[in-house]
Amino acid sequence: MIRTVTLNPALDRSVSVPGLALDRVNRASGSRVDPGGKGINVSKVIKALGGRSLALGFLGGRAGDLLAQGLDDLGVAHNFTRIAGETRTNLKLDDPRSGTHTDINETGPTVAPLDLVRLESALFEGAGPGDVFVFSGSAPAGVEPGIYAAWIRRARALGALSLLDADGELLCRGLEAGPDLAKPNEEELGRLVGHRLEGRDEILAAARGLLAAGVGRVVVSLGSEGALFVDAAGAYLARGIRVEAVSTVGAGDTMVAALALGLEKGESLEKMIAPAVGAATAAVLVAGSGACDPKAAARYAAQVTWEALP
């Protein structure tokens, strides 16, 4: 079983606004609402790609009810911990004329210590060898930044695997626990090492630094340029596939979903390359944070090219 964790989920309202401009009335050409948050997006894609997962995290209020109903409608299994307060709503603004994608994210509710205890109990209930934990996204107020690190260590003690996709101190502290796979993007990796990464060699050196610190595998997403895959056996640069993007929301989460499925199957990093890049490419053709089309993901996976790096 793949277990995804979303500590600060959201209803994602995606609005298409041609010619978006500040300080004026704008007219939307379309909108949609999806259950969102990084771990939830991962679970939606795992479902679309034919896998099974259990989505866990915190939900509260009417927005939480709507989010849970949305997952039920999609057939995504979940076991959320109910809390006081209201699950946040995030606004995604896509301008098809300029090709820009703007996110406006709310902060979310505060989590009480007992809520965290209840979630942790649900998260690890029955877990053991063969399970994969996906720890991704931000943490709401009331949750310490070392939470992912603590859970990665607990997962390892149970014989389970862990995948980390976070930013800031959550990423920094989580990496100290040595997850089996980490997936920062180029900007997140740069913030982690303390400076902007210039060129492939600097990105590769930073990724190898994570391996030296105890991370099992590192995948650095590079947006339209593709992704860098690094483990003890080698380093591989996968080239991006040029498409006309509808929305970039959830593309990174889609890559994480494909990687989690690869971990669950015990695949080598090389075998994960094409499915991960193909699925991420298919994701940008979907409005909002909806799951990618599995047929499109397979079609693009067949087109992925990559090279081994020294």
Residues taking part in catalysis: 253
For the chain, the residue count is 310
**Which tokens go with 255?**
């890559």
- Residues with Cβ within 8 Å of 291's Cβ and at least 6 positions away in sequence, in order, are 41, 44, 45, 47, 48, 74, 254, 283
**Which tokens go with 164?**
């980390």
- Residues with Cβ within 8 Å of 35's Cβ and at least 6 positions away in sequence, in order, are 9, 11, 12, 44, 66, 67, 68, 70, 71, 74
**What residue has token string 């959830």?**
250
Q: Where does residue 240 rank: exposed (0-12), middle (13-18), buried (19+ CB within 10 A)?
A: middle
Instruction: Kindly state the DSSP code that residue 110 receives in the 8-state scheme.
Output: P
Q: Identify the CA nearest to 61 among candidates 18, 11, 128.
A: 11
**What is the CA angle 68-69-73, rounded to 5?**
120
